[in-house]
Each structure stands twice: as structure tokens, then as C-alpha cells.
Amino acid sequence: LAYSCKVCKKEQDAKWFKTYYHNHKEEFTKWYRDNPEAAKIAHKNWLLQNQYGITFEQYVEMLTNQNGVCAICKNPETAVHNKTRLVKNLAVDHCHDTGKVRGLLCSKCNTALGLFNHSATLILAAAEYTKLYQQTMQINIINSETNHP
């Protein structure tokens, strides 16, 4: 079942956990221990489904469509996970109002969007500010070159 309401989804997950998982805990634990690679994918799939409503296969498809790089800066992820010391996966970017997935982002771009409150107006204002500063710097360089023989 797909839930559009996060509250309903959390309630359903809690109900499932209290009934099915609780009654089969030993089986789950054994399977996870005996199948570490499959368990890793199953856990990633569960997280993606739970948080963004997409499957692991859809994540991999998005990653492939983006050539394994960030949708904004076009660079691969470089941030390292604190515990595992491995390079992180690209983050799933989504609209916080609708929950719709937009693409995959590196940690830097994902953080930047968050700091701008996902506001296109603020992001464009920052771009204009940066562009104005760059133009001012170019003018200053030209002026300093013409003032020094």
C-alpha cells in the first residue's frame, strides 16, 4: 500500500512492527546475519520507500540517468560518512510540500538548498549577488591594469 499521508504511514509501520516483526524477530535477525549484502539492499529499499516512496531500483535508475553525479553541480559525491568512513550515496532531493522526488544531490548542494529553505527566489538572489560581485571584480582588475603601465 502506498500512503500519501506520513502520519498514516508511520501508524501502519508501527502496527506492522508490533505484530509481524515482533513475532518473527529471530527469523529476521538470522536472515540479516546470513545475507549481509541482501540485507543492506533490503534496508536501503525500506528507507527509500519509507522516506521518499521510491524503490532501490528507482534510486539506481535515477543515479544512472544522472550519470552517477549530482543533478546541480554535476560532480560525484565526496562527503564521507562519519561511522563507516565510506563515501556517502547521493541524497534524494524532494519537495517538502508535496513529497515529490526531484533528483539526487551531493551533500553540498543538498545542504545549500536546505539553507536557502528550498526557495527559488533566495537561490536566484544569491546567484545574482554572486554574478554582480564577479562583474565588479572584473572591472576592478581591468581598472588596476589600465592604471599601472
Query: pLDDT by residue for the chain (149 residues), tens digit each?
Result: 444 566 666 777 777 777 777 777 888 888 888 988 888 888 888 889 888 889 999 999 999 999 999 999 999 999 998 888 989 999 999 988 888 899 999 999 999 999 999 899 999 999 999 998 887 766 666 666 666 55
Q: State the CB neighbour count (10 A cutoff) for residue 19.
A: 10
pTM value? 0.69
E-state strands within the chain: 91-94, 101-105
